[in-house]
């Protein structure tokens, strides 16, 4: 898609716009001190972080590894961690200020939108300043609690008026615009848009019955094709098997319940369609790099 660059065809643009959903998960403006929290597990959502000096702590920049590649980011840069990437912060600075936010940026029926773009690791200059202002708007009304050596961060959003919510949604889309303006669409974007129409009935069934048992034959019948043909098309469009897609939906739902409810891990496992708590814990740890119980206790880190 090198001949396309950032100029996606009008057909694709119209198909995409109505399917984009952005959900703010958490965010804060905090001091971040070493040792930094690192995990080799994929990011559960998109994270955007603007790095700045904090008071008298010297900070000119730091090294960071994203999906195996090492980058050096300077003070004032805006870091981008797309959902599914793996990040690692090196202990080469004494601390810094981070204005950050976590989002779900999805392309219906639930695909991480940025996975269809080549996203740079950071934004620099005036665009980074614009991103910082937008993130501050989105974080407005959140409450931050700092406690312990691990610098635990709990952010709670206070519900605002409809006007506030509309302003925040607008800020979220403007932030996405800044990210996409420096990103290049992949060929898989066109494949996904074309494939939505062909596989939409099956995907809709998966989402309507995500906590129930579904067979490949049932899903293939929705699309009026054979089981093998359906699975091949699904992998080409969504980048995973139907079974893995369903598992990711269940794990995402479980992660949300861990953050927003007081239900036990056993209750969450049962609600989300896992055979038992032990299988749920193993699969959750594999995806998020931390057991469900510890994830709930530690909450969200910047």
Q: What is the DSSP letter of 300?
A: B
- In angstroms, rounded to a whole number, what is the distance separating the alpha carbons of residues 47 and 177? 15
Last residue in a domain, options 131, 159, 185: 185
pTM over 0.75: no
Same domain, yes or no: 268 and 192: yes
- Residue 130: pLDDT over 70: yes
From 61-65, 171-175, 287-291, the region with the lowest mean pLDDT:
287-291
Query: What would the pLDDT profile of 62-95 be if each residue is shown by its tens digit?
Result: 888 888 899 999 999 999 999 888 888 777 788 8
Q: What is the DSSP letter of 41?
A: S
Residue 95: its pLDDT value, please?
85
Q: What are phi and psi of 245, to 5 degrees?
A: -60, -45
Residue 3: its pLDDT value, please?
42
Domain annotation covers residue 153: yes
Same domain, yes or no: 192 and 96: no
Q: Where residue 250 falls among pLDDT bands split at 50, 70, 90?
A: very high
- In angstroms, rounded to a whole number, what is the distance separating the alpha carbons of residues 63 and 191? 35
Query: What would the pLDDT profile of 202-212 be if each residue is shown by its tens digit?
Result: 888 888 888 88
Last residue in a domain, options 185, 202, 224: 185
Same domain, yes or no: 261 and 198: yes
**What are the Cα distances from residue 32, in Å, to 29, 36, 49, 90, 294?**
10, 7, 11, 13, 21
Range of the domain at 22: 10-185
Same domain, yes or no: 205 and 294: yes
Element containing residue 256 per DSSP (H, E): helix 242-260
Mean pLDDT of the chain: 81
Domain annotation covers residue 2: no
Residue 146: its pLDDT value, please?
45
C-alpha gyration radius of the chain: 20
Q: State the total domains in the chain.
A: 2
Same domain, yes or no: 69 and 89: yes
Same domain, yes or no: 238 and 147: no
- In angstroms, rounded to a whole number, what is the distance separating the alpha carbons of residues 4 and 159? 41
């Amino acid at each position: 898609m090198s001949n396309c660059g950032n100029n996606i065809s009008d057909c694709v643009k119209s198909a995409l716009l109505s399917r984009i959903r952005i959900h703010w998960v958490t965010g804060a403006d905090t001091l971040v001190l070493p040792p930094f929290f690192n995990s080799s597990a994929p990011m559960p959502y998109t994270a955007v972080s603007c790095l700045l000096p904090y008071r008298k702590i010297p900070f000119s920049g730091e090294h960071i590894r994203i999906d195996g590649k090492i980058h050096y980011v300077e003070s004032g840069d805006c870091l981008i961690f797309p959902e599914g990437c793996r990040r690692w912060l090196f202990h080469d600075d004494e601390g810094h200020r981070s204005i950050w936010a976590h989002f779900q940026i999805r392309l219906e029926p639930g695909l991480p939108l940025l996975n269809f773009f080549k996203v740079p690791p950071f934004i620099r200059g005036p665009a980074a300043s614009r991103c910082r202002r937008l993130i501050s708007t989105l974080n407005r009304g959140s409450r931050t609690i700092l406690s312990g050596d691990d610098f635990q961060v709990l952010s709670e959003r206070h519900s605002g008026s409809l006007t506030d919510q509309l302003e925040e949604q607008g800020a979220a889309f403007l932030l996405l615009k800044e990210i996409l303006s420096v990103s290049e669409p992949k060929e898989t974007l066109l494949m996904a848009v074309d494939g939505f129409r062909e596989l939409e009935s099956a995907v809709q069934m998966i989402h309507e019955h995500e906590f129930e048992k579904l067979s490949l034959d049932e899903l293939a019948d929705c699309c009026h094709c054979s089981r093998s043909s359906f699975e091949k098309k699904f992998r080409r469009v969504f980048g995973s098997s139907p079974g893995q897609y369903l598992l990711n939906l269940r794990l995402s739902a479980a992660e949300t319940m861990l953050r927003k409810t007081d239900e036990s891990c056993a209750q969450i496992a049962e609600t989300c369609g896992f055979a038992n708590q032990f299988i749920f814990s193993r699969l959750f740890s594999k995806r998020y790099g931390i057991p469900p119980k510890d994830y709930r206790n530690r909450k969200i880190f910047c």
